[in-house]
Amino acid sequence: MSIYKNGIDSIKVGVEDMQSNEAGRVISGLRNIHAGILLLIKAKLSSLSGEGSDEVLIKQKILPTKDKDGNVCFTGQGRKTVDIFQMKERCESLNVSINWKPIDKITKLRNDSEHYFTTVPPKTIQEALAKTFIVISDLLRNHLGKTPQEELGEEIWQFLLESEEVYDQERDECVSAIEMVDWESAMLEEAVKEHSCDVCGSNLLKPTETNVSFHETNLKCGSCGNVFSFHEYASVALNKLHEPVAYLAMTDGGDPEIVDCPFCGEFGYVIEEGRCALCEEYAHRQCARCSNPIPVSELSDGSLCGYCQHMSDRDT
């Protein structure tokens, strides 16, 4: 049986399992759909392997050999195939564009279910799987030249469409509710929209009320039901949103977009907005003594730059 056929069969079985209300079957569905997606990616890499290469692009071990004309070529060796990290490397090298984010999500869930007893609710797993359906469609349609309806069957295909539609609808409702709150900070609002549940990882977080101040806005997870207060999620959400920018600032130079607030001490002072998104305090950006701009690294709850503050302390 071909890699491709195995992948299709795994996805079909997985979709049937994930429709169950039994946690065990949902986890089985997770494993099968995860395996099926990886097999489809291997099928794509296999199709790009040259003739006589022993499917070189899906083999872990690759050795140089010579063809009949004496030209150096590479062939796959052994039976071990590539792992996810190698798949990503080879797809990137070959400009095979795949959305890995939803795959990474279910990979983590699958690993947890394999090595630990997962406490993640079935709905969270079903939600994560629903996000992969567009990846399955893209692999079949754009990378393998197949028609999803024909390969998976009309019944399963319609279920995938409906599951994705239901998730999108719930997600849209969450985003709309978040937008109804006056966060008084565009950065904070964006961070809350992108935030995921700290317990189960779902991003179906929705304000319990929208007519209160942002400080009093609690978020409830639509998957596991946990409720988080503003102080439990706000700074964490800003930190997660800022991580990629902070890495670039650290490696390429430049100022970060968000820093620890000199007033409340929380990670929430938004440089562009000139205020803390959490406590709403403003820091002086021009020194009251020398009139020079105060660097981001010297922001404080006072009105002096670092040098002038040092000189002032000496005078006293």
Tell me the pLDDT tens digit for each residue of 81-116.
889 999 999 999 999 999 999 999 999 999 888 766
The residue count of the chain comes to 316
How many other β-carbons are positioned within 10 Å of the β-carbon of residue 290?
A: 13
12 or 159, greater pLDDT: 12
Residue 110, both tokens = 């699958």
DSSP letter string over the chain? --HHHHHHHHHHHHHHHHTSS-HHHHHHHHHHHHHHHHHHHHHHHHHHSPTTSSSGGGEEEEEEEE-TTS-EEEEEEEEEE--HHHHHHHHHHTT-----HHHHHHHHHHHHHHHS-----HHHHHHHHHTTHHHHHHIIIIIS---HHHHH-HHHHHHHHHHHHHHHHHHHHHHHHHHHS--S-HHHHHHHHH---TTT----EEES-SSS-GGG--EEETTT--EE-HHHHHHHHHHHHHHHHHHHHHHH-S--SEEE-TTT-SEEEETTTTEETTT-----SB-TTT-PBPPGGG--SSSS-HHHHHHHHHH-
Of 28, 24, 55, residue with least CA distance to 42: 55
pLDDT higher than 90, residue 306: no
Domains identified in the chain and CATH numbers: 3-171 (no CATH), 180-245 (2.20.25), 249-315 (no CATH)
pLDDT in tens, 25-70: 999 999 999 999 999 999 999 999 877 667 778 887 776 777 776 6
| pLDDT, tens digit, 9 for 90 and up, residues 168-208 | 888 999 999 999 999 999 999 999 999 999 988 888 999 99
pTM higher than 0.75 for the full model? no
CA pair distance 233, 246, nearest whole angstrom: 19
Q: Return the closest-CA partner of residue 131 out of 92, 166, 155.
A: 166
Question: What is the pLDDT, as a whole number, of residue 114?
Answer: 76
Give the residue, 188 or 223, on which the prediction is more confident: 188
Q: How far apart are CA 250 and CA 255, in angstroms?
A: 9
Short-list 135, 129, 127, 137, CA closest to 100: 135
Q: Are the CB atoms for 6 and 43 separated by under 8 Å?
A: no
Percent of the chain predicted with pLDDT > 90: 53
Which comes out higher in pLDDT, residue 256 or 45? Answer: 45
